[in-house]
Chain A
């Protein structure tokens, strides 16, 4: 069996830690997610932080803002690391689903996260009389 995926939640300020805490509270601790913040990091430090978190393992990086420093750094990193894929616009639904589907390839897990995350963004019809 191939190595299970790790998920790196790579986001602004305390967002990543909050997401990982929330996944643990809902799905338990065997979620394979690591939180990395961009606080205090320039471009080189962002890359180092990501490299430390990935640690050579197959991984999906979940970044928050598509135009943010985390996403840019992760995209650059993934370009030279074929076993690492990036998904932007992270939400709780995609992370919860990822926690239970860590036996996929990075590419398949990224596709799945994209679909799950998109499906979770809805605007239910207004209720009331």
Chain B
């Protein structure tokens, strides 16, 4: 089934990812694409502790992930690829040769300069433009925090 979900979530691996999406999708692996976590053994150990033992966790920097994407897409198991921000997902998509068709905006929370778009999505103008660029490249961008939540299209999100 390869990668079922490409998600942008600034909390990285957490309850919504592991339980909310992981359980109904039956994921066997989660790829966390984050240069900072990739460089920190103790953070990786921490995230592994929070994931059920039957779910493999892979840590990759953005460049590494770009090189591994085809292998993850060809994996017979189901998986989630997760980035902490739009820039990392955009970089990954730029190397994906069309292999990323859908991106889920799962959680980008308030910071100074960001405007509320949904309860769980706040964006600067630059971040909104980055999502538009993903869409222009042919990727379907939607916001949805949990599988039972409403899927919000990009036009409505940025409305």
Contact = CB atoms under 8 A, between A and B. Distances in A.
B18 A67 contact: yes
A27 to B, nearest CB: 28
A27 B120 CA distance: 36
B12 interface: yes
B50 A66 contact: yes
Contacts of B107: 42
A45 B50 contact: no
Given A40-B109, A42-B10, A65 B46 contact: no
A66 B14 CA distance: 9
B15 interface: yes
- Most chain B C-beta atoms within 10 Å of own C-beta, residue among A65, A66, A67, A75: A67
A5 interface: no
A72 B109 contact: no
A66 B49 contact: yes
A118 interface: no
Contact of B110 (A40, A71, A75, A79): A40
A75 B14 contact: no
B150 interface: no
A76 interface: yes
A111 interface: no
A52 to B, nearest CB: 16
The size bracket of the interface on A is: 10 to 19
Contact of A42 (B42, B47, B109, B119): B109
A120 interface: no
- Most chain A C-beta atoms within 10 Å of own C-beta, residue among B14, B51, B111: B14
Nearest to A75: B46
Given A72-B13, A72-B14, A72-B47, A67 B19 contact: yes
B49 A69 contact: no
B50 A43 contact: no
- Most chain A C-beta atoms within 10 Å of own C-beta, residue among B15, B18, B84, B110: B15
A18 interface: no
Contacts of A42: 10-11, 107-111
B46 to A, nearest CB: 5
Interface of A: 12, 40-46, 65-69, 71-72, 75-76, 79
30 contacts: A40-B119, A41-B11, A41-B109, A42-B10, A42-B109, A42-B110, A43-B10, A44-B111, A45-B111, A65-B15, A65-B19, A65-B50, A66-B49, A66-B50, A67-B13, A67-B14, A67-B15, A67-B18, A67-B52, A68-B15, A69-B11, A69-B15, A71-B50, A72-B11, A72-B12, A72-B47, A72-B50, A75-B46, A76-B43, A79-B42
